[in-house]
Structure 1
Amino acid sequence: MTFLDSAQRSALPAVEATAAALDHELSDATPTEIVRSALRTVGCDKLAVVSSFGTESAALLKVVADVDPAIPVVFLDTGWLFQETLDYRDQLTELLGLRDVRTVKPLDATLRRNDPDNDLWFSDADACCRIRKVEPLARALEPFSAWLNGRKRFQGGDRAMLAVVEADGARLKFNPLANATADDLKALYAAAKLPPHPLLGQGFTSIGCMPCTTRTKPGEDPRAGRWRDRGKTECGIHVDKVS
């Protein structure tokens, strides 16, 4: 849960109004147009893109790099990631010429206090995501007024009604790929000759942390392998409520 101070709370109505206006304006915009609008709205120093460097991440990163490769990229290294994901981060960073990739990790003190045996993922997946993803991202986003992420409506679930621009507490959240289809992404990967995530060919269609990611079966939702049978579909980054 994200807590705001009084100044941030007083800014919420203005942020919500700006988000609503931008969402209306950009409802049919291309991903490139949405990234450019975000850049114009807050400036490069106040805009970040958050990327998991997962199976579809190269699409948004390519769009961002084409607009301005100096836009900061925030990458959450939870301590449980596949080595292939870390290698893919390095590969895409070099290929796309990304100039400011920031790897953020959970605090050692937090892990010692809340997950000393590294088994919290099994006993309480929500708590594990909170200390390894939600809290580190909150720290990483403190300097920024807006952020970009790669969610799409076609991913289904809570994402099916995704807005192009949202109010995320005191920040704006831009979803440049909200309107994109799976075919759009395939076309972008092909046109830009983007390499696939190394684990995609092994049946992993959505990739998070090792303990909570499994292969998907033919015909399953692409995110079915995340937290399988745990009654969980999101890590909390996109569903936390502001208090």
Structure 2
Amino acid sequence: MTAIAPQVPTVSALPSAEELDRALRDASPAEIIAAALKTVGRDKLALVSSFGTESATLLKVMADVDPAIPVIFLDTGWLFEETLAYRDTLIAKLGLKDVRSIKPAEETLSRDDPDRDLWFSDPDACCRIRKVEPLARALKPFSAWLNGRKRFQGSARADIPVVEDDGARLKFNPFANVSREEIEAIFTLAKLPRHPLVASGFLSVGCMPCTSRTAEGEDSRAGRWRGRAKTECGIHTMKVS
């Protein structure tokens, strides 16, 4: 009589990005974050934040769901001192329990940007070594990540889904459907502090050399890489696997 091999239980695969997007396309930001948390678990979920001008709102919603979700912050070496101070302010205000400040590899900076002028000659390469590559390292332990892109920001962001596949992991966009008015409502209701540079006319803040003030009537991201065709740093357009 031939012995029958026992059935080995298989670990169920994660739902596909398409399945999750269909299920969550009309969900609130808090519901989307809770669904991401349930899907992969806290140890496999990270939120990536620039601690920029609108970042407090997503961080607030996340903190209400679970303040211990890891937060990845890319400290490029070119950030405004005001951004670093704002990071610390929000950590204290929201009770964030696991903010990880990630820096570029020193050997890469020494090799590719020894004079700190790569931002001028090749801004895409500068973003790659200071943002894209460090983020790829930081995301390796995770199966999914959250970010703050919004469709109203236009350009490449106008048609983003609520959930997508970045090539290596699930990528949740909890604020894909929110409006500018809803962002302002979160700031007001939660009494969130503003980024210190907003009062000086900076409506979107990135690295110092590539950020300028925004004139009245301009798009909020018009001050990023002004005068260049570039509109994204690369972490949302390049593969970060």
TM-score norm. by structure 2 comes to 0.93
Q: Which residue of 2 aligns with 1:190?
A: 188
- Return the offset for 1:169: 1.1
Query: Which structure is richer in relative contact order (CA contacts within 8 A, separation 6 or more)?
Result: 1
CA distance in 2, matches of 1:43, 1:105: 26
Higher helix share: 1
Shift of 1:241: 3.9
Indicate the residue corresponding to 1:175 in structure 2: 173
Letter in 2 for 1:140: A
Q: Look up the equivalent residue of 1:91 and give its one-letter code.
A: T
Aligned residue identity for 1:200: V
Q: Could you say which residue in structure 2 is the equivalent of 1:101?
A: 99
Q: Secondary structure of 2:130's partner?
A: helix
Say which of 36, 42, 45 aligns to 1:44: 42
Summarize the Cα distance change of 1:107–1:242 in structure 2 as closer, same or farther, 3 Å threshold. Answer: closer
2:233 aligned partner: 235
Question: What displacement does 1:230 show?
Answer: 1.2
**Which structure: larger Rg?**
2
Q: Secondary structure at the match of 1:231?
A: coil
In the alignment, which residue of structure 2 is the partner of 1:221?
219
| Alignment-derived partner of residue 4 in structure 2 | none
Q: In the alignment, what sits opposite 1:164?
A: 162
Distance change >3 Å, CA 105–CA 31, structure 1 → 2:
same
CA distance in 2, matches of 1:76, 1:15: 30
The answer for unaligned runs of 5 or more in structure 2 is 1-11
- Letter of the 1:116 partner, please give it: P
| % identical equivalent positions | 70
Amino acid across the alignment from 2:40 = V
Task: Answer whether contact 1:75 1:103 (CA < 8 A) is retained.
Answer: yes
Give the 4+ runs in structure 1 shifted more than 2 A: 14-17
Specify every segment of 5 or more residues in structure 1 that has no aligned partner in the other structure, as ranges. Answer: 1-13
Q: How many residues align?
A: 230
The answer to whether the 8 Å contact 1:72/1:101 transfers is yes
Counterpart in 2 of 1:10? none
Deviations 1:137-194 (A, max 9, x none): 0000000000000000000000000100000112000000000000000000000000
Q: Verify the 8 A CA contact 1:49 1:73 in the aligned structure 2.
A: yes
